[in-house]
Amino acid sequence: MNAQPIHFKPSEGFRDRAKAVVDNPFLRQSFRGAMDFLMSKRAGQFPDVEELESLRTLGEQIRQYNLGKLPELLVRLEENLTRNGIQVHWAETPDEANEIILGICKRVDAKLMVKGKSMVSEEIELNHAAEAAGIGALESDMGEYIVQLAGEKPSHIIMPAIHKTKEEIAKLFHEKVPGVEYTDNVDALIQIGRKVLREKFLEADIGLSGVNFAIAETGTLCLVENEGNGRMCTTTPPIHVAITGIEKIVEQLSHVPPLLSLLTRSATGQNISTYFNMISSPRKPGEKDGPEEVHLVLLDNGRSQAYADEQLRKTLQCIRCGACMNHCPVYTRIGGHAYGTTYPGPIGKIISPHMLGLEATATMATASSLCGACGEVCPVKIPIPELLMRLREESFSAPHPNPAMRGQGAGYNGLVSFVWRAWATVYRSPMLYGLATWAGSRFSWLMPSSQGPWTTVRTPLKPAPKRLRDMLKERG
């Protein structure tokens, strides 16, 4: 599949990619429409503000409690999964995770892996690695299938093909799926996908899935989905491999119902998804279906770095609902691809630096007006704007020893830092402030009519001829 090379730096060219979407009225309208739809669906699920706020507080408490015990819970999860017959693997890096998964494939001489929706598998670029190893990796979530067929990447974590119109998909199916006539009827298109993919479920040697919640006390993997492809991938092939980030763990089964409710209501405005699939073991003796082997790959990939810092740790509370992107005025303007990261939108801006290093992602943190819409809707109350400010600080401060994150200081610019220091010198001193603003008001005619980026779509800023303090003095 076409995809970005793994060591691609999302920061580079970000503004150009963003501009390309901003200047495309068609894409602008299509993201606006889709996000408006998702926002209103979510709002419909939370008519009672008190219920919403108390449930968000509970969600935050659950996630923080579990993160607080993360190392212990991972060990317990491993023990209980192993007891249940599920094999547990650990991967520090994407390469290690791919090696583990491809190792399983090679052991059974697998030809085809069908994949349920998994953002972590996107994160490790599993499709790339599988193709390189001669193993077919086929996406089976309708949106992911469309995106894969088009040689693209998902533009939204819940709605991967949200950037495509039905006409584009109709053309794609007609061109890429043998024997398919052009139709832009959505039902017909879905039935085409169903037919193609059902044959693949029959054929596949390996089913791959993500995990929404891993329950430590029971040794259970939980999956949320609407289509049924996740159930297909985890039931039909002889081997099921699940992959998850180490943070998706809860200690107790009782933690799941509130998180599930927050997840589906926030994500797509459904009171629950069509399927909630809880897997606690491979096929047991006497059972007639289900995989003979189940594996879980636990991936770090920078999460332990976020974990090491009390503030940055909050990033790991995320349950991947996508509400932050649905409500983000920046995401709405530029869509998911412009970010260049696996996870776009506000959550992408705060999680990607831990995966790719701040040196590759520093620009993303500046692409926010800090309007707070993301933090307001986050079902587990991640303070995203605060984290963005923290990332700005980590990026722009001079490199120092023992940084909290990889790439600290990557955005350091001596001149910019000097300007801010000078600014502080002036603004902490009433005398210097008085002088500077007095000069500004008297010589405002000297203000240039072109003020860089500000005046591309705005009139120039001009200080008023008299400051408020002058007016007050005159008034006496």
Partner 1 sequence: MSSVQPATPHPTDIYFFATCVVDQFFPGAGMDAITLLERLGIRVHFPEEQTCCGQPAYTSGFPDEARKVAAHQLTLFPNDWPVVVPSGSCAGMMKHHYPTLFAADPARRAQAEALSARIYELTDFLVNLLDWQPQDTGGECTVVLHTSCSARREMGVHLTGRKLLGGLGKVTVAQQDHESECCGFGGTFSIKQPEISGAMVEDKVKALKATGAERVVSADCGCLMNILGHAAWKDAQEGRAQPSLPGEHIASFLLRRTAR
Partner 2 sequence: MSARDRILAKLKAAPNLPKPEPDVAAWFAGHRPVENTADKVARFRKCIEFAHAEVHAVTAITWLPKLREVLAARQIDKLLVAEETPHGNAALDELPPQGIECSTYDMPIEAWKTEMFHATPASLTAARAAIAETGTLILWPDAKEPRLMSLVPPVHIVLLDSAKIYNTFYEATQAEGWKDSLPTNALLISGPSKTADIQVTLAYGAHGPKELIVLLMGDEQ
Judged by the rule CB under 8 A, the positions of this chain that interact with partner 1 are 15, 18-19, 22, 28, 329-330, 333-334, 365-373, 375-376, 389, 391-397, 417, 420-421, 423-424, 427-430, 433, 437, 440-441, 452-459, 461-464, 466-472, 475
278 binds partner 2 (CB under 8 A): yes
Minimum Å distance from CB 317 to partner 1? 19
Question: Do residues 384 and 311 lie in contact, with contact meaning Cβ atoms separated by under 8 Å?
Answer: no
Shortest spacing between CB 457 and partner 1, in angstroms: 4
CA distance 111 to 136: 6
Q: What is the DSSP string of 116-176?
A: ---HHHHHTTHHHHHHHTT-EEEE-SHHHHHHHHTT---SSSS-TTTT--HHHHHHHHHHH
* Residue 329 binding result from partner 2, partner 1, none, given CB thresholds of 5 to 8 Å by partner type: partner 1
Measured over the CA atoms of residue 280, residue 284, residue 288 and residue 292, the dihedral's sign is positive
Residues 293-312, one symbol each (x = binds partner 2 by CB under 8 A, - = not), give -----x-x---xx-xxxx--
Is residue 37 part of the contact set for partner 2 (CB under 8 A)?
yes
Residue 310 interface partner, choices partner 1, partner 2, none, CB cut-off 5-8 Å depending on type: partner 2
Q: Does 64 bind partner 2 (CB under 8 A)?
A: yes
- Among 202, 370, 432, 472, the residue binding partner 2 under the rule CB under 8 A is 202
Within 133-162, which residues bind partner 2 (CB under 8 A)? 140-143, 146, 159-162
Q: Which of 283, 333, 406, 466 binds partner 2 (CB under 8 A)?
A: 283
CA distances from 206 to 105, 119, 200, 240 (A): 7, 18, 11, 6
Q: Is 475 in the site for partner 2 (CB under 8 A)?
A: no
Q: Which residues, at least 6 apart from 21, have a Cβ–Cβ distance to it below 8 Å?
A: 27, 28, 31, 333, 334, 335, 337, 338
Adjacent-strand bridge partners of 223: 277
> With contact defined as beta carbons under 8 Å apart, do 207 and 236 qualify?
yes
Residue 423, binding choice from partner 2, partner 1, none, Cβ under 5 to 8 Å by partner class: partner 1
Separation between Cα atoms, residue 335 and residue 32, nearest integer Å? 9
Site for partner 2 in 235-254 (CB under 8 A): 235-236, 246, 252-254
Nearer to partner 2 among residue 275 and residue 412 (C-beta):
275
